[in-house]
Structure 1
Amino acid sequence: MLTSVGRWLGIWVPSESGHGADTPSSIEAAEKAHHTSYQPSIADVLVIKSMLTKGLHLPLELVESIVDQAEYWPRTTTEVDYKNHSDHGLYTVGFSQVANDSENELLLRSVPLGFHTWPPKSPSLGREDLYRTSIPPKPPGEQFPADAFQSLMNYPAPLVNHPCRKIVFTIRSRDQGWGGSNQHHFTYHGSWTWFEAGLERWAKKSGENLETQEQPSLALEDLSTVYPPVILEGVDETAHKFDHPLLPVEHLKIQCNKTAVRDILEHRVVWNYTDEMSPETNLADLGRGTETGDGKFVRELQLGDVVTVWGKNRFPGWANYVEGVKIEVYWVV
């Protein structure tokens, strides 16, 4: 029924094969659907839902199911393309003049979940800098309730606390083109350059009256960081630092570069809230985190959450060269 209704509305409906192991045919079909399917706006989704409820007199629960199964979701996109931002067309993790950490670097952040734009409320920063500027490590405090974000939106806010449905990461990068064990060359094994997802959110400020803090500021400098974890630095209880483990964090690892490959490769990694990878899917062979196949990261995102991408490299001689990064976030309305 969902498929026929979706086709009648002109909405692309995914096949009933589910979100199991990636196969060449399923990947090819997903890529084709991504480039040919219509990307609705928030207004488009609301119009379709109104047509189904008022025009066809369908119950709201069924309408929500149809729209969700058809993946008819609005999205936001943030992107940095170093072909246009750098003289060399590449960005090298750890070689930035402003980097505080030579092996771990923030590359990009998304629009806050549930917002179609991010108001540039940071007084000292331009709009572009909102998406690429590092912030001091600040541990999250008491969270704002969902309705604190809903009151800041200029459209009927999502009715669920966890509205995220899909995140698409597109990364164009390579390593230094040499090094590592010979048996790992041209594979995703033995790679010490990779990318991880992070999470930022607004929380109530400690030291102030929590009851009077009714809304988040949406200012960049007020964001706290959930991933990577923030820990105390030394004995000073006011000084914090990011906790970056030496090894990749498998439930956050988006993608690693192929080992000893000099050509820029593009990787498009999709995290879906319904992901349930089969045990036969060897994500390590694809260069992905071995614990990213369950959809948990997507399902647990809350209104206002900000997704980030961190570039990583380890050990002398290894270099992570980045040509571009893009984050697409889809959510239910």
Structure 2
Amino acid sequence: MNRRGGRLFPIPFPRTPRPTPEQREEQQQSQAPDASTSNPDNVLYQPSPKDISDVTLILEKTGNLPPEVVGIILDYAEYWACTIASADYRNLPSGHLAIRGSHPTENQFLLRTEPIGLSNWSPASPDLWRRESTPRLLDPEAEAESEYPRATLEALADGPVPPFEHPVRKVVFDIFSRDQGWSDERESHGTYNHSYTWFDAGLELFDPTIKCPDDCPDRQNPNYDERSIPTCAIRPLWPVSVRSEPDVPARYHHDLLASPEHCIQRNKLAARPFHHHHVEWRATDDIDPQSTAAEALENAGRGRATGNGEFVRNLKLGDIITVWGRARFRSWSNNIERVQVKVYWAVQ
């Protein structure tokens, strides 16, 4: 997680002799990426919540402006707090992560963002933070009690907290990836048609009904106390969790094809070079999923229902965004160099 040059969670990648193809694939799936977040080259400055609070006071006092007007000015200037999460696979022996269709790992968890607004919270176990959370069924009768009170979450913010229930203004995805570089669909080469490798955005939150086990790595941290929120309290909301039989543990349900509401980006079909996709989701987006504008999104490789702004507008304090890499069908491969997510949220 990036807190303007704050803590990093580096992961060493030992240099080993050139592996066989089988060893390389096993190595790719077992080695975690550097899922710590750092300030990338394209980020020059990101204000902290305190910076925004200071600027707000300056505008209110020296400009003699009411808070409502100051809020409009800051929104117009996009002067928002920002957190950055990234996963970089270029240190793997192959130089990238390969997700292969028709393999057990064809749906792979890649990263999660810092809980929105909770800049004073950090995972005691970086390894646990980098893994997908345990699938959990939600009891509809307990749904109203499945989130921490706002006061508990606000105590984990370092500085001013957003006064809004839904403070997020923009989510930016930067993905460097490609597919396997060939396809029998020659007429679609270089387009996003018939592309079966892609990336989805998921959603998680902290659930107070989840009890942290005694052997949880968070409990081994000397700074842990009963007021802390452990990493294992994360509940996935999407992908959804399902259970096939009463006594069988819950599992994730992964759709066969890209979700119109969650697909961030598909890879270009049969494009050999790694391609940089820059995708922005905004709270002000208002594209009808059935419109011609939504069709244009789909032609650009995005989910046609990702342009209506609902995902961003519904994000709350403490919510966590995840990114999943997908590949479908035999011989399809989603090759990933790096993934980055920037979340912008308003403090005033």
TM-score by length of 2: 0.76
Q: 2:160 maps to which residue?
A: 156
How far does residue 219 in structure 1 lie from its aligned partner after superposition?
Answer: 2.3
Written as runs of structure 1 = structure 2, the 5 A alignment for 1:293-304 is: 293-304=307-318
For structure 2, the 5+ residue unaligned runs are 1-40, 213-225
Written as runs of structure 1 = structure 2, the 5 A alignment for 1:103-122 is: 103-116=106-119, 118-121=121-124
Cα distance per residue 1:192-249 (max 9 Å; x no partner): 00000000101121689xxxxxx9843221100000011123222x620111111111
Partner residue of 2:79 out of 72, 77, 81: 72
Cα distance per residue 1:268-297 (max 9 Å; x no partner): 100010012374421111100000011100
Distance in 1 of aligned mates of 2:128 and 2:50: 25
Q: 2:238 maps to which residue?
A: 227
Partner residue of 1:218 out of 226, 229, 233: 229
Matched, 1:143 2:147: yes
Q: 2:337 maps to which residue?
A: 323
Identity of aligned residues (%): 38
Report the CA distance shift for 1:36/1:144 in structure 2 as closer, same or farther (over 3 A).
Answer: closer
How far does residue 131 in structure 1 lie from its aligned partner after superposition?
Answer: 4.8
Cα distance per residue 1:148-167 (max 9 Å; x no partner): 21122231211011111110
Cα distance per residue 1:16-56 (max 9 Å; x no partner): xxxxxxxxxxxxxxxxxx95874322222111101011222
Q: 1:285 maps to which residue?
A: 299
Partner residue of 1:46 out of 53, 60, 63: 53
Distance in 2 of aligned mates of 1:286 and 1:192: 14
Report the CA distance shift for 1:328/1:207 in structure 2 as closer, same or farther (over 3 A).
Answer: closer
Asked if structure 1 preserves the Cα contact closer than 8 Å seen for 2:87 and 2:340, the reply is yes
Distance in 2 of aligned mates of 1:231 and 1:216: 30
How far does residue 300 in structure 1 lie from its aligned partner after superposition?
Answer: 0.2
Cα distance per residue 1:41-93 (max 9 Å; x no partner): 22221111010112222111111111112110010111111113x11110012
Corresponding residue SS for 2:341: strand
Letter in 1 for 2:241: V
For structure 1, the 5+ residue unaligned runs are 1-33, 209-214
Cα distance per residue 1:292-324 (max 9 Å; x no partner): 011100000111111000000100010111000
Letter in 1 for 2:263: K
Distance in 1 of aligned mates of 2:184 and 2:298: 17
Corresponding residue SS for 1:320: strand
Q: Which moved more, 1:216-225 or 1:252-261?
A: 216-225
Corresponding residue SS for 1:233: coil
How far does residue 117 in structure 1 lie from its aligned partner after superposition?
Answer: 5.6
Cα distance per residue 1:70-122 (max 9 Å; x no partner): 110010111111113x1111001259xxxx9422110011000012364123x
Corresponding residue SS for 1:62: helix
Q: 2:193 maps to which residue?
A: 189
Letter in 1 for 2:83: T
Asked if structure 1 preserves the Cα contact closer than 8 Å seen for 2:98 and 2:336, the reply is yes
Report the CA distance shift for 1:45/1:138 in structure 2 as closer, same or farther (over 3 A).
Answer: same
CA RMSD of aligned residues (A): 2.3
Distance in 2 of aligned mates of 1:167 and 1:216: 30
How far does residue 145 in structure 1 lie from its aligned partner after superposition?
Answer: 2.8
Distance in 2 of aligned mates of 1:52 and 1:174: 46
Pairs aligned (count): 283
Letter in 1 for 2:73: I
Asked if structure 2 preserves the Cα contact closer than 8 Å seen for 1:276 and 1:294, the reply is yes
Corresponding residue SS for 1:198: strand
Q: 2:34 maps to which residue?
A: none
Letter in 1 for 2:325: G
Matched, 1:91 2:97: yes
How far does residue 264 in structure 1 lie from its aligned partner after superposition?
Answer: 0.4
